[in-house]
Amino acid sequence: MLEEFTFLATAKWPKNIQTKATAPSNIALVKYWGKEDIQIPKNTSLSFTLSNCKTTTFLELEEKKEAIEETQIRVFLDDKETPSFVPKIQKFFRLIDAYCPYLKHYNATIRTSNTFPHSSGIASSASGMAALALCLVQVEKSLQPEILEADLRKKASFLARLGSGSASRSIDGGLILWGKHQEIDGSSDLFAVPISSKIDPIFKDYQDTVLLIDRGQKQVSSSLGHSLMNGHPFAEARFAQAQNNITELQSYLASGNLKEFMRLVESEALTLHAMMMCSRPYFILMAPQTMEVIHKIWSYRDETKIPVCFTLDAGANVHLLYPKKYTTEVHEFIEQELKQHCQDQAFIHDEVGAGGEFL
């Protein structure tokens, strides 16, 4: 139990509490892949917080009639009751019980919706858990009004992490770091923080177009994925590489060296997939269209000198990253060359955003 995140409010708990919050998705530049219990990352990761791909959540807590009654949790996705989400939330509530002790006094109804389609292949766990964590700390704020906004956001990141590791990076905006780094003061395994080192203005409004190559469910769940790093023959080398990549990336973010930025980001994406391809069991999560798109990006970059690069999540979709000033040219490239490789020609334009909000 960590004292820093203890719930201190002594006010009388009301019969009914309602809170609402929104949180965006994020895309990792240096990837988190491998963890220890409970949601402690094996290496530091660094991400762009996005803006358009987000989850909005409304949380309603209603006092139980009998304190010993089991907590009832109901989840509605886009106004449709979705019992399949309940076990994950139950597990999350159990994990955070010591930090949100009021939860056991209430039954909870969670109404949530995403701006991106459920069947887009975009994981909603980061934005979903971050939005729920922001709702929870708002409950705390209503019971303990003097609590500072900065402390609330830190606790939201701490709670979100316990729901889904990468969700810790969806509370604040811009470039976000999660995981203790030997050279970065203030970095922590327990919550994410905005990077405090210098950032060239080119990265402040960086663009990310998500090319929806495969809109199906994830082939490999996150928990299975992370567990593949336990006993992986290259695990230790990978974790050390990620720590070095964080140091290197920080210097490119400061200098605005796009050539080196793109090299590092693409290498991170391919390393994530390489780790999966040589784990036991092994997986290939890229689809043939993923490869077609990657080769087209490389040719386009060679021919036009426009600094566009890609990154990947643990799936087939491609995130196309580029500076805002090239938006017109890159959108034309997507229309003419890339969208034909997307399922139903679907893609989502997104960009670096300001983080989650209390509503």
Does 166 interact with ligand PMV (rule: CB under 6 A)?
A: yes
Of these, 313, 341, 348, 356, which contacts ligand PMV (CB under 6 A)? 313
Does 290 interact with ligand PMV (rule: CB under 6 A)?
A: no
Does 314 interact with ligand PMV (rule: CB under 6 A)?
A: yes
Per-residue contact string for residues 92-131; x = within reach of ligand PMV by CB under 6 A: -------------------------------x-x------
Of these, 45, 51, 138, 157, which contacts ligand PMV (CB under 6 A)? 45
Does 43 interact with ligand PMV (rule: CB under 6 A)?
A: no
Does 191 interact with ligand PMV (rule: CB under 6 A)?
A: no
Does 55 interact with ligand PMV (rule: CB under 6 A)?
A: no
Stretch that binds ligand PMV, among 88-96, 158-166, 208-216, 236-244 (CB under 6 A): 158-166
Count, residues near ligand PMV per rule CB under 6 A: 14
Stretch that binds ligand PMV, among 11-19, 58-66, 160-168, 275-283 (CB under 6 A): 160-168
d(CA 320, CA 293): 10
Of these, 34, 121, 128, 165, which contacts ligand PMV (CB under 6 A)? 165
Of these, 55, 138, 222, 245, which contacts ligand PMV (CB under 6 A)? 222
Q: Work out how close the CB of 192 gets to ligand PMV at its nearest, in angstroms, rounded to a whole number.
A: 11
d(CA 322, CA 207): 5
Q: Work out how close the CB of 34 gets to ligand PMV at its nearest, in angstroms, rounded to a whole number.
A: 10
Stretch that binds ligand PMV, among 26-34, 108-116, 184-192, 295-303 (CB under 6 A): 26-34
Enumerate binding residues for ligand PMV (CB under 6 A): 28, 31-33, 45, 123, 125, 164-166, 222, 272, 313-314
